Structure 1
Amino acid sequence: MSRFERWAVWSTSIGTLVTGVIYVWMKYLLVSADPYAVVNHPLQPMVLKLHILVSPLLVFSIGLVALRHIWRHVQTGMRDGRRSGMVTLLALGPMILTGYLIQAVTHESLLRAMALSHIGLGLLYGVGLLVHQFAAGGKRVRAERAKERRGRRRPERRRSGREATLSP
């Protein structure tokens, strides 16, 4: 993964997770003093909008690393972080699907089931991504892999002085 890809995945994951956790806290754990209030906190609608704005960027960033990181490691059988990566990846699809369905479903009990599933899958994704960072080795392993890749590169063949003068 490039530095930009890593930054994209982590920044959008953190942004989505933080706005999601704050929204859950405001919607389900806070109680408004006004019995007729539609929201439990004045910033609740803004936090929801931020969550809805940042989450498609998360989907984009995962798509950005899908071939170069995820698919390549599945194909090569990479062992470091495989379980945590697969758990995170398997939580991602249903998390995205339930996130979209929450906005479309109107039946009360189905909406509640979608919301609870989305919350659980979102937390699983966040924990899975954090565990994956440590299971895959983090900076140390990335540095070792980069050093290994540099060692595998073939050095360019230099021409001797005589060959350089003879060539057109």
Structure 2
Amino acid sequence: MTRLERWSLHLAALFTGATGLIYGWLRYYGQREGEFGLEAHPLQGALQHLHVLAAPLLVFALGMLVRGHVLPMWRSGRPVGRASGFLLAMVLAPMVLSGYGVQVVVAPAGRLALAWIHGVSSLLFLAGYGVHLLAPLRQTRSALAEADASLNPS
């Protein structure tokens, strides 16, 4: 995976995740009391549009990731990050498909179900992404500790 692909993925995930989290917070907890009852937060619409515009960039970056990272790591058989990578792969389809579905389904019950699926799978994706990014750091730290222990026996 090239440096450009890696940074494209990280930036797309950060921007899409941040806009989605802030939009979700404003949607469900940012309502204000207006003259005629509860009103949406003034930034809610802008954040929704930014999230919808950022999501295809993330999907494109994830497509590059399959070719440049997932397949080579799968073929190498390296165990580092395999569990978190598998979690990411499992929540990817529900996250993407429900994200697109929530934009086109008009039945209220269907939209609500898709919104829940999208919210839960997106939170799992963000958590798994964070854990997956830290997996090589944990392996390096444990390898350094083992090397230090072998050089300095107590």
| CA drift at 1:76 | 2.1
Distance 1:57 1:9, change over 3 A: same
For 2:77 and 2:38, how far apart are their aligned partners in 1?
51
Q: Is the 8 A contact 1:9 1:58 kept in 2?
A: yes
Structure 1 window deviating more from structure 2 (22-31 vs 97-106): it is 22-31
Match of 2:3 in 1: 3
Q: Is the 8 A contact 1:27 1:39 kept in 2?
A: no
Q: TM-score, normalised by structure 2?
A: 0.84
Q: Is the 8 A contact 1:80 1:137 kept in 2?
A: no
Match of 2:103 in 1: 103
- After TM superposition, the structure 1 = structure 2 runs for residues 8-19 of structure 1, keeping only pairs within 5 Å, are 8-19=8-19
| CA drift at 1:138 | 7.5
Q: Is the 8 A contact 1:98 1:114 kept in 2?
A: yes
For 2:99 and 2:61, how far apart are their aligned partners in 1?
17
Q: Is the 8 A contact 1:19 1:51 kept in 2?
A: yes
C-alpha RMSD of matched pairs (Å): 2.0
For 1:140 and 1:4, how far apart are their aligned partners in 2?
24
2:33 partner SS: coil
Match of 1:114 in 2: 114
Q: Which amino acid in the other structure matches residue 104 of structure 1?
A: V
For 2:138 and 2:4, how far apart are their aligned partners in 1?
16
Match of 2:74 in 1: 74
| CA drift at 1:136 | 3.0
For 1:134 and 1:7, how far apart are their aligned partners in 2?
16
- After TM superposition, the structure 1 = structure 2 runs for residues 131-142 of structure 1, keeping only pairs within 5 Å, are 131-137=131-137
For 2:128 and 2:134, how far apart are their aligned partners in 1?
10
Larger radius of gyration: 1
Question: Any stretches of 5+ residues in structure 2 without a counterpart?
Answer: 142-154
* Residue deviations 1:76-133 (CA, integer Å, cap 9, x gap): 2221000001101211111000000001111111111100110111111011011001
Q: State the aligned residue count.
A: 141
Q: Is the 8 A contact 2:80 2:139 kept in 1?
A: no
Match of 1:64 in 2: 64
Q: Which amino acid in the other structure matches residue 65 of structure 1?
A: L
Q: Is the 8 A contact 1:8 1:61 kept in 2?
A: yes
Distance 1:20 1:136, change over 3 A: same
